[in-house]
Amino acid sequence: MHVLLTGASSGIGEGMARVFAEAGWDLTLVARRRAELERVAASIEGRVRVNVVAADVAALDALDALVGAAEAELGPIDVLVNNAGVQIVAPTASVDPADGERLVTVNLLAPFRLTHAALARMIPRGRGTIVDISSLSALAPTPGMYHYSASKAALAAASESLRAEVRPRGVHVVTVYPGPIETPMARRAIDAYPEDPTRGLPVGDARTLAVRIRRAIERRHDRVIYPRAYGIARMFPGTTRWVMDHFSPTPRALPPAAG
């Protein structure tokens, strides 16, 4: 089994890299920070083959070649995990439009390109799995996460749409909706609010989420919502929207740019 995993240098991506390695799956790990990728790779090498690729997935035109190079290194990609993500938590009017557009490129357009490249190889083989790491924000869009919520909702819709299309061709699609997870990115998001918005709510951990994703791949489950309590957001979208509209906290404004 060969897994191409983006955003593999920390947080949920690092958790998946470790859990997948425990299953004996070979890994192509992709992220911008080579030193962090090599740290993750060093902790799992010896158990599986690991291919480290320092790349910015925002460079869309390079992604087809990245997939081709990964297959040349470790063989056909059995699982593509679209995990790389950027998050901005701030009042929307204070966000630089260029930063918001880069977020959409990383969170949405890069998965589109990678999925297209992977499907071009998986469909002729009649097998493969695409895993899209969306967010609870796709089910419960959050104030102060204008670009992030939009990108994750679009990725989730695309992922859910693709499943029925490619199932007859032997390709499975898993859509993942993480709620609050203990990661560095989540901590930065929490720090953007005057008070912790997750206080009193279920908070998960990256390893447990990774185990559930691995199980979904192995058992061909359609989606993962974790912590499981947040499944109510999908079951009762109207109630969820009312709660978000009336009780969501407002993030602090971004500090002014230097210079």
**In this structure, are residues 160 and 174 in contact, taking their beta carbons and an 8 Å threshold?**
no
d(CA 121, CA 123): 6
The DSSP line for 124-180 is HHT-EEEEEE--GGGTS--TT-HHHHHHHHHHHHHHHHHHHHHGGGTEEEEEEEE-S
Give the three-state DSSP class for 53: strand
Q: What are phi and psi of 57, to 5 degrees?
A: -70, -10
Tokens matching residue 25: 């799956």
d(CA 132, CA 110): 11
* Catalytic pick among 148, 177, 226, 230: 148
**In this structure, are residues 71 and 28 in contact, taking their beta carbons and an 8 Å threshold?**
no
Active site residue 146: no
Query: According to DSSP H, which parts of the chain are helical?
Result: 11-22, 34-44, 63-74, 97-104, 110-125, 146-166, 184-191, 206-219, 231-235, 237-247
Any idea which residues carry the catalytic annotation? 148
